[in-house]
Structure 1
Amino acid sequence: MSTPQQAHPLSSNRLLASLPSDELTALQPHLEQISLSLGQSIILPDELIPFVYFPLNALLSLVTVMEDGSTVEAGAIGREGMAGLPVLLDADTTPMQTLTQIPGQAVRVKAEIIKEAFDKDGALKKILYHYIHITIVTGSQTAACNRLHHIGARLCRWLLMSSDGVGSEELALTQEFLATMLGVRRAGVSEAASQLQDQGLIRYQRGRIQIVDRKSLEASACECYKVVKAEYTRLFG
């Protein structure tokens, strides 16, 4: 469903906000603002990628799907990024799935349009090169995090990244979805979330999580959150 551009300014997405006005003006006629629903798949494994997406206040998940149907999140994409990077690398498909983790608004543009703009060697190319680097760093850090860090610290990291991605301290999330994204059983997520709530860091009720004490949540998160955030700040300010 399309909505008027002014309903949610393009500057909500940090990549689009980084573009000089002339490049954004040239791209703007091709941008379509859409609503994304919970669990909506926007990129399917091994299928042609027709659009790339710039979230405005939605949060997307890059998900690895195993043969038995089990899934683990490999990365999250919020207002600081875009979905559909394989298009820029001349790869029309990917074995990974991208779906909506937190519903909201996003801007999409046809794959061939963004690839053409990317190939012009303007500011967009430099910005997206930096973002490709961030994606590699995030993926590497996530792999290490899933192997080495306990669920409580990982949950703190994931909540902080999700909050940054949508620009809100309140997150619409279920324990089932959290378990899928973290690659653990629901009971493990429930126990970890209950501990955070008992400590006064979050408030959890009926599929919504409110970050109450962000400073303490950051202190309880594993190092991975700070590593990725610092690298993003270094490149994008």
Structure 2
Amino acid sequence: MPTALQTVSDPRQNQLLASLSDADWKRWQPYLEWVDLPLGKVLCRSGSTPGYVVFPTTAIVSLMYLAEDGASSEVAVVGLDGVVGLSLFMGGDVSPHEAVVQSAGQGYRLSAHRVNAEAESGGPVMRMLLRYTQALIAQVTQTAAYIRHHSIDQQFCRRLLQGLDRLPSNKMAMTQELAANLLGVRREGVTAAARKLQLAGVIAYRRGHIEVLNRRRLEQGACAFDGASKSRPRDLMTMAA
């Protein structure tokens, strides 16, 4: 439950929930539970079956690929554009990724039981979730191609844009160590990339907090690569439609 000092977010800040018809929204609303999503909270571990799907409203969740040697890298980002726990909709049950909160905030969850009932009934809601699944697959594909063909500087710029597009302001909490873990690179490379952007007046970096001062320059730094710079949630949903 939220504390007395917390302002509870509106569930329809999440774009998927906002897209529900009035009838579907009335059916879902009683079953949606508010959840606090602190930094570092693991929503689902790789190889496990999620107990819930989570619709972030003000938080950002990283979907991480974990290698056998312990290395990890981010393959997709989920914020107010989407939902965590898609394996429940797809019939596979077991999650292929670890879902970790990388920007604290709030969200709403729906139990696996309700999700399974929705999947079995089909209809407009299921089609909407399948479109989002296609959008998420597109993001994972773009990330793989981007890592293969772009420098650490460009990857860092793209990752900042992905966070920026899923937050209500131009400020985000991100340490250089966290950015290195998300990108699967050495911290020194991220430190150098952040220093270049700060000296160029593109970002301001203070004690684990980044403020984007010039989005256009950041987009130029990310480099448009066959649509890979399309980090905006609505762009991805349009691609999937």
Give the TM-score category using the shorter length: over 0.9
CA distance in 2, matches of 1:54, 1:159: 21
TM-score when normalising by structure 1: 0.93
CA distance in 2, matches of 1:38, 1:125: 30
Q: CA RMSD in A?
A: 1.9
CA distance in 1, matches of 2:112, 2:2: 18
Q: What residue number does 2:89 align with? A: 88
Matches within 5 A, 1:80-229: 80-223=81-224, 224-226=228-230
**Distance apart, 1:205 and its partner CA:** 0.6
Q: What residue number does 1:232 align with? A: 237
More helix by share: 1
CA distance in 2, matches of 1:114, 1:2: 24
**Distance apart, 1:2 and its partner CA:** 4.5
**Percent identity over paired residues:** 35
Secondary structure at 1:7's aligned position in 2? coil
Q: 1:98 to 1:116 in 2, by over 3 A?
A: same
Q: 1:184 to 1:14 in 2, by over 3 A?
A: same
Structure 2: 5+ residue runs without aligned partners?
Answer: none
CA distance in 1, matches of 2:196, 2:33: 42
Contact 1:203–1:211 (8 Å) recurs in 2: yes
CA distance in 2, matches of 1:231, 1:116: 27
Contact 2:162–2:231 (8 Å) recurs in 1: no
Letter in 2 for 1:104: G
CA distance in 2, matches of 1:149, 1:175: 19
Of the structure 1 ranges 121-130 and 203-212, higher mean CA displacement relative to structure 2 is found in 121-130
Structure 1: 5+ residue runs without aligned partners?
Answer: none
Q: Which deviations, in whole Å up to 9, do the C-alpha atoms of 1:189-211 show, x marking residues without a partner?
A: 01001111111111111000001
Contact 2:162–2:232 (8 Å) recurs in 1: no
Q: 1:164 to 1:55 in 2, by over 3 A?
A: same
**Distance apart, 1:95 and its partner CA:** 3.4
CA distance in 2, matches of 1:202, 1:89: 39
**Distance apart, 1:11 and its partner CA:** 1.8
Of the structure 1 ranges 127-136 and 116-125, higher mean CA displacement relative to structure 2 is found in 116-125
Q: 1:225 to 1:105 in 2, by over 3 A?
A: same
**Distance apart, 1:3 and its partner CA:** 6.7
Contact 1:134–1:228 (8 Å) recurs in 2: no
Q: Which deviations, in whole Å up to 9, do the C-alpha atoms of 1:8-31 show, x marking residues without a partner?
A: 112210000000111011001110
Q: What residue number does 1:10 align with? A: 11
* Number of equivalenced pairs: 236
**Distance apart, 1:177 and its partner CA:** 0.5
**Distance apart, 1:120 and its partner CA:** 2.2
Contact 2:52–2:109 (8 Å) recurs in 1: yes
